[in-house]
Amino acid sequence: MITNKIFIIGLPRTATTSVCKALVELGFTTAHTAYIQKAFDEAQVIADTPIFCDYQVLDQHYPNSKFIHLARDMDAWVPSIRQLLQRMLHNLQRTDGGFNPYLRRCYHDTFSPLTADNINSDEFLVSCYDRHLTAIKTYFKSRPNDLISIDVSH
């Protein structure tokens, strides 16, 4: 089991897939989403769900790990996340199945309250993004060597 991990904690639609693909090409074992223990045990780099939501808990379980926050320009991120959330909304709100419960919890926690009206509000989506970024900055305030932020817009 690999104990020193790299966790990518950017929100969905901030180039997590592209960064994971690049890291695979560099030889890292990578999991873009991790819903089973085997993914956590075997991957060096883990991104997306549930990482963007559970990074504080994962930090405790995997001491000495490093974290990468991916940032994206709001003019590009808002329409992209809106489109994703609109496609996912039905399955995120179902009580009879739909998406994996970890995925459902992470999206509901991060984009709360998750409603069609909120998904259509730029202000709401930007506030979710800003809340996530503020939480990351606060959490890593005294540990700047454990976090790197990359703006994928440039």
In what order do the strands lie in the sheet containing 30-32?
30-32, 45-47, 6-8, 66-71, 147-151
pLDDT band (50, 70, 90) for residue 36: confident
User: In whole angstroms, what is the distance from residue 11 CA to residue 50 CA?
Assistant: 10
Question: E strand or H helix at 81, and its extent?
Answer: helix 74-93
Average pLDDT in the chain: 95
User: What is the pLDDT averaged over residues 55-61?
Assistant: 97
Q: Which residues partner with 66 through β-bridges?
A: 6
Q: Are 110 and 128 in contact (CB under 8 A)?
A: yes
Question: What's this model's pTM, rounded to 2 decimal places?
Answer: 0.93
User: In whole angstroms, what is the distance from residue 2 CA to residue 12 CA?
Assistant: 25
Residue 34 has pLDDT above 90, yes or no: no
User: What is the pLDDT averaged over residues 60-82?
Assistant: 97
* Token pair listed for 151: 């703006």
* Cα 67 → chain centroid: 11
Sign of CA pseudo-dihedral 136, 137, 139, 144 = positive
User: What is the pLDDT averaged over residues 61-89?
Assistant: 97
Residue 113 has pLDDT above 70, yes or no: yes
pLDDT band (50, 70, 90) for residue 1: low
- Share of residues in the chain with pLDDT > 90 (%): 87
> Cα-atom radius of gyration of the chain, to the nearest Å?
15
Taking CA atoms, 78 is separated from 73, 119, 121, 127, 133, in Å, by 9, 9, 9, 11, 15
For the chain, the farthest-separated pair of C-alpha atoms sits apart, in whole angstroms, at 43
Residue 136 has pLDDT above 90, yes or no: yes
* Token pair listed for 126: 């930007």
Q: What ranges do the domains of the chain cover? A: 6-151
The CATH class given to the 6-151 domain equals alpha beta
